[in-house]
Structure 1
Amino acid sequence: MSTAPRRATLSFLALSLALALGAAAPLCAQHAPVPTLAPTANAAEAALRDLYTAEWEWRQREFDRERIDGRWQAGGRMPSVTPEAWHRRTAYWRDVLTKLDAISLTDLGREERINAAVFRTSIEASVANAAWRTYEAPFNSDSFFWGGINPRQPYQTEADWRRFIARLGDVPRYFDEQIANMRSGLDRGWSVPRATLDGRDTTLVPYTQTGEDNPLLATFERIPVAIPEPVRTQLREEGRRVVLEQTLPAYSKLLGFLRDDYFPRTRTTIAARDLPDGRAFYQSQIREYVTRDMSAREIHDLGLAEVARISAEMREVMVRTGFEGTFEEFLDYLRTDPKFYAQTPRELLAHTAWIAKKIDGELKHVVGTLPRYRFTILPVADDIAPIYTAGRGGLEACFFNTYDLPSRPLYNLPALVAHECAPGHSFQAALALEAPARPDFRQQTYFSGYGEGWGLYTEWLGTRMGIYETPYEEFGRLTFEMWRAARLVIDTGLHEYGWSRQQAIDYLAGHTALARHDVVTEVDRYISWPGQALSYYIGYKTILDLRAEAERELGAAFDQRPFHDTILNLGSVPLPVLEEEVRRFIAEQKAAGRASG
């Protein structure tokens, strides 16, 4: 899954998390210039460009962001999350949709038609979530509005540090607004499910400490020496003062609220359908994350069919390992034999780095355009590692979880590195940063079906790149594919068909070699974040089906490099737009082939 501070047709939960992550991300060393767009061709294109440009600049002001070195970055305040702020935003977005409806799409050129489709899908998701007031449950079992404030890597300039300190001083107001929203959610039966909350409060505890175990205080010990004295000492002292006098008490207050008030009153049900008008809400989440109209039944049936197909392939690979027991015994063997696990965090990270460099050598055969930007590999932060997923990738870094090493099998790492690093999320994010000139909102919009679909596709692409060297690593890849296919069954089972939490755990554990720790963490994520998990496999299948179509139509003339360039050069788009543009590429390639023949 992408960390992408980037990005999305976002629910208010996801938007809050993205804004927090954006606040935490230090500026890139590479500046991104303001794009220079081609002239508009007619009045319709001019009207559309004026509309999306004005909305994007308004949105940045709404969420207290500033253009710094060519990129929109967090400013000196945390965003407002009051109901009044959301109502104001919703009214603005509804007006934007009305204006968008008045623009004739038939008068738009190809690029502006794509812009219009991306823009509409993003705004519609924001308006839909406003109606559901999802900001009243502003976190889930996986991601937290309080956890993305601290930077993962130190800022590099004095101005960055001063904005960060100013945001820390605004945390008390921001947390108070979140608390007020959560109280309103409790009053109407809208909350995070209680079953998914075990241990989530502990992620706050380090931020309530007064010593160097506090991640915020530790951050101020990492001000780089490139910032000269006495400024470095001044920043450290001012930052520590703000943390101790303002930020730390706000974290303590939030922790007390969650433990004493929120958790005891959260709902004991787990299904989205059990929320007020829950079935309609779940359908809206499917629409948001899949970016196409699919019913829960359609998705559930697709999942069952894919699970059956992948199960057969997994058993074939098991035979290739020489294992002579049952499938269930093989899963137990994979989960328990020490030879499949790193003994130290450094060993796991070193293994991921080796895989990443091995993939580097194959990329020139996979895509035609390679990005200049580089990611690093880092461990998941200690404060969130116990409840975090195995790995996540973004523009700046790929993070791998080194907590509980007996739950982190090495045979899964090739697929995980391909997905999170390159040619998956980090690679994709770098290309987006360096993409041809397109509107600001296109550079920072992220659709989960597109992004996560590409990530899962790159795991399959690894079979063409030679990165799976043993049957165990191939089984690890199939485990990951099964994991995403099973999500189609589990997510719809939980939220539409009344599955219990234990039923979901048993289903995932019985079909994959995922460690028990990961199985439970994943199921709790699906319970508390309805619909998001559906995007991976549906996006993946869309891309894989398009590749099969291209290979069938183009025959020996098929070249995967321009095929992949077509997908990546689009940037993040809804899946119907992806299908339309890839089919346009196929038609152009066929026409070029006929002309040359």
Structure 2
Amino acid sequence: MRALSPTESASAPAFARDTFGGVTEDTTRTPTPVDAIADRYHEQAVALSPMMATYLGLDEHQDALDDFSPEGLAARDAATREALAQIGAAQPQDDVDRVTIDAMRERLGLDVEVYDAGIQHASLNVIESPLQGIRDIFDLMPTDTPDQVETVGRRMRAVPRALDQWFESLHEAAGRGMVSPVRQVTACIQQTKDHTASDGYFATLKKQHPQIGDAIDEAAAAYARAGDRLREEILPKAPEADGVGRDKYPLHSRAFLGAEIDLEETYAWGQEELARITAEMARVADQVKPGASVREAMDALDNDPAYTLQGTDALQRWMQEKADAAIAELADTHFDVPEPVRTIECCIAPTQSGGIYYTPPSDGFERPGRMWWAVPKGVDHFGTWRELTTVYHEGVPGHHLQCGQTIYRSGLLNNWRRMDVWCSGHGEGWALYAERLMDELGYLTDPGDRMGMLDGQSLRAARVVLDIGVHCGFEAPAEVGGGEWTYDKAWQFLTAHADMAEGFLRFELDRYLGWPGQAPSYKVGERIWMQLRDEVKEREGAGFDLKAFHRRALDIGSVGLDTLRGAVLGTL
């Protein structure tokens, strides 16, 4: 794929024309002044965030952690504002530039809004705040050589200072009246206890690498102190109410979607979509076991040896086999999969949160893309009927294809487009679209596997309703009694539409309550991806090519959804 040169016509989107033109993947594009602005901002971002460098697989500052203090946040904000001013004055030379300009204005502009609102300073929740980020970054650090282990040790010694800096920002936010709710603070306190327990993360890591035991002890002590400080300094100031309110929610929603949505309409659509999925699950239940309810069909699947795995080793092998098979069967048929992207590693994570997640490959693919499963403590029995759709979500055609293809396009996209920008509605929306697509392509015809896909879809639709309803103060659905949303109503609603262990669902509910706007971005993002595909299909008629649509859409990278639509349709 190539972009237009400055002298070529821009009357139609370069992505459409180049994709269908059969241009080879190694065709490169001459960088422009717009690319220079984006690359310069990328370099500044990496310099200001050693953790970002690790995430990207770079070697810079691997023994340091980010500065989470007000001064550190201000430095990143200053770099963002400078780049935003530069890109605002830039002139595009081709369609790729037009997308970069639109994407940077939208993404960086939102970063400034979020900073001005104080959201970064008050960052504290159960899943995506410095408390988790500092610990999580160690999962991506190699430990194959003595030097690499020593680097981990030096970074462990940086943990106390990083956590202290975080508290500086939390206190500044508290001075502005911004403190996370009691539920989030207490859950984070428990996380510090879990990490520092005799069988927790730090103790396990020390057994694996006793040569850096002193450094690990320092980090563990810092996490224990962080738990004490949360209890003593932050919890007394924390409000009881979970919702952020109708006036604040739109900013959170736009940050995760890159699009402005009608919240009332989306709330109603979420309930309609959930009803559709629930009805479909009832039909599939009858296929699993004639006359059975959904619950009875799920019980039958859980007790069917054909869908059962025992132990994490078996789980890891099964994940790898399914992920590899999907790549082999989909490459060159339904998707253009670059050669380096045809490798994925499936791993059991060193933590026990129950989450399943993906980390992208490094630039150059020295570190491959990886699918991680954080198996909860004591869990050694797994039902594949629930999880096949998850492999497609995290692997191919989900995140692995999406992220890997973007990183691979060094001849087309600047470094900011390839490695920095991430929009949840685009990324998670694509991954959920990928699950539905695999159903359309016939990979989920087995009733058990299809039930698993629908069960996941049910959860995603339920949290559209729950997240928007709780945070905006909309009236609760009739099935939980209507009126004002409460925690008990939210729990009743979630458990009615998600068949998962109580501990996992409690964490999920806490996540939605503490991270407004993120959970709906999956299902709302999928909706916008489906709408875009339908619009392109209607415009192109008999000439519509699904494989080509996927290629040109993914080659744009993980931009906001309004930018994606404009890029695909040529309206930027």
TM-score by length of 2: 0.81
- Matching residue of 1:297: 264
- Matching residue of 1:119: 104
Mean Cα displacement is larger for which, 107-116 or 95-104? 95-104
Are the aligned partners of 2:459 and 2:494 in contact in 1 as well (CA < 8 Å)? yes
Q: Which runs of 5+ in 2 are unaligned?
A: 1-26, 362-368, 474-483
C-alpha distance in structure 1 between counterparts of 2:79 and 2:327, whole Å: 45
- Matching residue of 2:209: 220
Alignment of 1:418-437 (within 5 A): 418-437=392-411
Are the aligned partners of 1:334 and 1:513 in contact in 2 as well (CA < 8 Å)? no
Are the aligned partners of 1:453 and 1:537 in contact in 2 as well (CA < 8 Å)? yes
The answer to whether structure 1 residue 266 and structure 2 residue 238 are counterparts is: yes
The code of the aligned residue for 1:450 comes to H
C-alpha distance in structure 2 between counterparts of 1:584 and 1:538, whole Å: 22
The code of the aligned residue for 2:508 comes to E
- Matching residue of 1:389: 355
Are the aligned partners of 1:420 and 1:426 in contact in 2 as well (CA < 8 Å)? yes
Are the aligned partners of 2:180 and 2:514 in contact in 1 as well (CA < 8 Å)? yes
- Matching residue of 2:465: 489
Give the drift of 1:555.
4.6
Question: Which residue, 313, 323, 326 being the options, matches 1:359?
Answer: 326
Q: Call closer, same or farther: CA 1:455–1:471 in 2, change over 3 Å.
A: same
Alignment of 1:245-260 (within 5 A): 246-260=218-232
Question: Which residue, 406, 414, 422 being the options, matches 1:446?
Answer: 422
C-alpha distance in structure 1 between counterparts of 2:435 and 2:291, whole Å: 27
Alignment of 1:46-65 (within 5 A): 46=33, 48-64=34-50
Give the drift of 1:527.
0.5
Are the aligned partners of 2:267 and 2:468 in contact in 1 as well (CA < 8 Å)? yes
Are the aligned partners of 2:182 and 2:235 in contact in 1 as well (CA < 8 Å)? yes
- Matching residue of 1:21: none
Q: Call closer, same or farther: CA 1:476–1:157 in 2, change over 3 Å.
A: same
The code of the aligned residue for 2:396 comes to A
1:26-59 residue CA offsets vs partner (Å, 9 max, x unmatched): xxxxxxxxx986153xxxxx3x344333322222
The code of the aligned residue for 1:126 comes to D
The answer to whether structure 1 residue 146 and structure 2 residue 134 are counterparts is: yes
The answer to whether structure 1 residue 175 and structure 2 residue 163 are counterparts is: yes
Give the drift of 1:476.
1.1
The code of the aligned residue for 2:253 comes to I
- Matching residue of 1:472: 448
Are the aligned partners of 2:430 and 2:526 in contact in 1 as well (CA < 8 Å)? yes
Are the aligned partners of 2:44 and 2:79 in contact in 1 as well (CA < 8 Å)? no
- Matching residue of 1:38: 30
Give the drift of 1:578.
1.8
Give the drift of 1:81.
1.7
C-alpha distance in structure 1 between counterparts of 2:190 and 2:51, whole Å: 30
C-alpha distance in structure 1 between counterparts of 2:127 and 2:306, whole Å: 29
C-alpha distance in structure 2 between counterparts of 1:123 and 1:407, whole Å: 44
Are the aligned partners of 1:138 and 1:145 in contact in 2 as well (CA < 8 Å)? no
1:398 aligned counterpart, secondary structure: strand
Q: Call closer, same or farther: CA 1:183–1:332 in 2, change over 3 Å.
A: farther
The answer to whether structure 1 residue 377 and structure 2 residue 346 are counterparts is: yes
- Matching residue of 1:229: none
1:61-83 residue CA offsets vs partner (Å, 9 max, x unmatched): 22247979996455132121221
Give the drift of 1:491.
0.8
Are the aligned partners of 2:252 and 2:517 in contact in 1 as well (CA < 8 Å)? yes
The answer to whether structure 1 residue 280 and structure 2 residue 247 are counterparts is: yes
Alignment of 1:539-550 (within 5 A): 539-550=525-536
Question: Which residue, 170, 178, 184 being the options, matches 1:190?
Answer: 178
Give the drift of 1:379.
1.6
1:278-299 residue CA offsets vs partner (Å, 9 max, x unmatched): x333110111111111132132
1:454 aligned counterpart, secondary structure: helix
Question: Which residue, 504, 517, 528 being the options, matches 1:518?
Answer: 504
The answer to whether structure 1 residue 89 and structure 2 residue 76 are counterparts is: yes
Question: Which residue, 357, 375, 385 being the options, matches 1:402?
Answer: 375
Are the aligned partners of 1:551 and 1:558 in contact in 2 as well (CA < 8 Å)? yes
Q: Call closer, same or farther: CA 1:568–1:39 in 2, change over 3 Å.
A: closer
1:345-381 residue CA offsets vs partner (Å, 9 max, x unmatched): 2333333233223313321222023341422111232
Give the drift of 1:420.
0.8
Question: Which residue, 276, 291, 303 being the options, matches 1:309?
Answer: 276
- Matching residue of 2:487: 501
C-alpha distance in structure 1 between counterparts of 2:235 and 2:308, whole Å: 36
- Matching residue of 2:514: 528
- Matching residue of 1:226: none
C-alpha distance in structure 2 between counterparts of 1:379 and 1:474, whole Å: 25
Mean Cα displacement is larger for which, 85-94 or 108-117? 85-94
The code of the aligned residue for 1:443 comes to R
Are the aligned partners of 2:285 and 2:297 in contact in 1 as well (CA < 8 Å)? yes
C-alpha distance in structure 1 between counterparts of 2:202 and 2:221, whole Å: 16
Q: Call closer, same or farther: CA 1:205–1:219 in 2, change over 3 Å.
A: farther
C-alpha distance in structure 1 between counterparts of 2:52 and 2:356, whole Å: 33
Q: Call closer, same or farther: CA 1:493–1:206 in 2, change over 3 Å.
A: closer
Name the count of aligned residue pairs: 518
2:372 aligned counterpart, secondary structure: strand
Give the drift of 1:485.
1.9
The code of the aligned residue for 2:223 comes to Y
C-alpha distance in structure 2 between counterparts of 1:317 and 1:66, whole Å: 43
Give the drift of 1:118.
1.7
C-alpha distance in structure 2 between counterparts of 1:407 and 1:506, whole Å: 26
C-alpha distance in structure 2 between counterparts of 1:334 and 1:524, whole Å: 28
C-alpha distance in structure 1 between counterparts of 2:296 and 2:120, whole Å: 45
- Matching residue of 2:389: 415
C-alpha distance in structure 2 between counterparts of 1:563 and 1:319, whole Å: 36
C-alpha distance in structure 1 between counterparts of 2:465 and 2:152, whole Å: 42
Give the drift of 1:451.
0.8
C-alpha distance in structure 2 between counterparts of 1:543 and 1:198, whole Å: 37
Q: What is the root-mean-square deviation in Å for CA atoms of aligned residues?
A: 3.3
The code of the aligned residue for 2:156 comes to L
The code of the aligned residue for 1:418 comes to Y
The code of the aligned residue for 1:389 comes to G
Are the aligned partners of 1:307 and 1:482 in contact in 2 as well (CA < 8 Å)? yes
